[in-house]
A and B are shown apart, each in its own frame.
Chain A
Amino acid sequence: MSAAVPRGRTHVTDSPTYVASVFGVDWQSSLPLIGFEGDEAAPGGALVLEASRQEVRAGWRNAETVFCRRLAGGRPVFVVERTPDAYRIRAPRHGTHVVAGDGRTILSAPPSRGGWSWQRLIYAQALPLAARLQGLHLLHASAISVGDAAVAFLAPSGTGKSTVAVNLIARGHDFLTDDVLAVSISDRSLTAYAGPPLLGLSEDDYEHLPEEGRMALGSRVGHLDKLYLATPVRNGSAPLQLLYFLERTDASGLEIRRQDPPRPEQLLAGTALPYLRTRRRLVEPLDFCAALAERTRVFTVRMSTANSPGYVAAALEAHILEMTPA
């Protein structure tokens, strides 16, 4: 047993159990995370266990810092450390979370002031890392399902992939994930898995949606840097068929052009968690991107800054429906 998962912390025991399937992994949690539902513990699931601060501090003196994001003044706001046995993720006011090296257990010490906002770190980093360590592949993408197909939108942060996804959900399509998409590779296909039922968008984007569109996005969780919504996830998984790389341009109009063949450097740049740099974790994205290039259809979408989100969503919807005939 490693220092990352202390003895006796290998199953949910004396506390209520909450379960959910997120990023292709069946989780049991002793913490009532957003989207997790109370249920009987089933054997075999991966674990999120509430931990004390002492538990997540022990054994990290000689850890290697593999990622650190700092404010302009130098204060760290997001840190990932590694030992041979585990990764530790921490951020001020978001708690400290230790992910075992096999991705099967997360020890989670929430911040003392509570609330829900710290859970964004679990969803954006700890659960994706655990899924990756369990063999799933990750894209920095938002995704919806249209009919039987999963459709992913990739773009640098701030380009509008969540806005595009939100507007397509408002038009009746199903939410799959916001920001991180987990994918598994089998012999013949790629399967995309739902993320957590939490979606962030600007208040302005939300207010511009029609009333029925807002209803499809679920209830408000709270407002931080964005408005966060508990958006229902109806499909746990779907075959990944279409990838759209979104680009903003000053030129007028909207252009959707197939990448034939897909550009490997763009696919590689779309993979998530770049701080995983062991030999195996570096090679796997190459094979993942080769599979994406071979088994999905990839498009570049050039959107004018003048295009409204509704206009972009309508154009993309028409294109997606043409590419995925029933």
Chain B
Amino acid sequence: VIPDRHLDLERVLAASVRVPDHVVYREFAQETVLLNLETGQYHGVNPTGGKMLDSLDRAATVGDSAAELAGHFGRDRAEMEQDVCSFCIDLLERGLVELDEPA
């Protein structure tokens, strides 16, 4: 079940994000293009989204990623948590990432 972006913030922040085997992505100068091999669809995200994706792919949890990105962009952490959570759910809805939630 895809989390609700307003109600399930804590649940998403505690989870880790994984880019599944059926998704590949390439960085271009001003865009990151993700390809979902199951649907054959390409998706573009802007440089901020590309940075978020890269951070999410490396961080232990979404919360850790939000903390790193808040530092990188000089943003309030709570705001960044909302943005990163929303971004994760956008990617989840398109089958571009998977969430591993703690047991």
Interface residues of A (CB under 8 A from B): 261-265, 268, 277, 279, 282-283, 286-287, 289-290, 293
Contacts and interface: CB of A to CB of B under 8 A. Distances in A.
B26 A268 contact: no
28 contacts: A261-B29, A261-B30, A262-B28, A262-B29, A263-B31, A264-B31, A264-B33, A264-B44, A265-B31, A265-B44, A277-B40, A279-B37, A282-B37, A282-B40, A283-B24, A283-B35, A283-B37, A286-B24, A286-B26, A286-B33, A286-B35, A287-B26, A289-B28, A289-B33, A290-B26, A290-B28, A293-B28, A293-B29
Contacts, number: 36
Interface string B15-33: 0000000001010111101
B26 A282 contact: no
A262 B44 CA distance: 13
Interface string B34-68: 01010010101000000000000000000000000
Given A282-B35, A290-B26, A293-B29, 20 more contacts: A261-B28, A261-B29, A262-B28, A262-B29, A264-B31, A264-B33, A264-B44, A265-B33, A265-B42, A268-B33, A268-B42, A277-B40, A282-B37, A283-B24, A286-B26, A286-B33, A287-B26, A289-B33, A290-B28, A293-B28
A260 B33 CA distance: 17
A33 B84 CA distance: 58
A153 B30 CA distance: 23
Interface of B: 24, 26, 28-31, 33, 35, 37, 40, 42, 44
Contacts of A293: 28-29
A264 B33 CA distance: 8
Contacts of A268: 33, 42
A278 to B, nearest CB: 9
Contacts of B35: 282-283, 286
A265 B41 CA distance: 11
A275 B26 CA distance: 21
Nearest to B40: A277
B32 to A, nearest CB: 9
Task: Give 6 closest A-B pairs by Cβ, nearest first.
Answer: A261-B29, A264-B28, A277-B40, A286-B26, A261-B30, A264-B33
A263 B24 CA distance: 18
Contacts of B44: 264-265
Contacts of A290: 26, 28
Contacts of B29: 261-262, 293
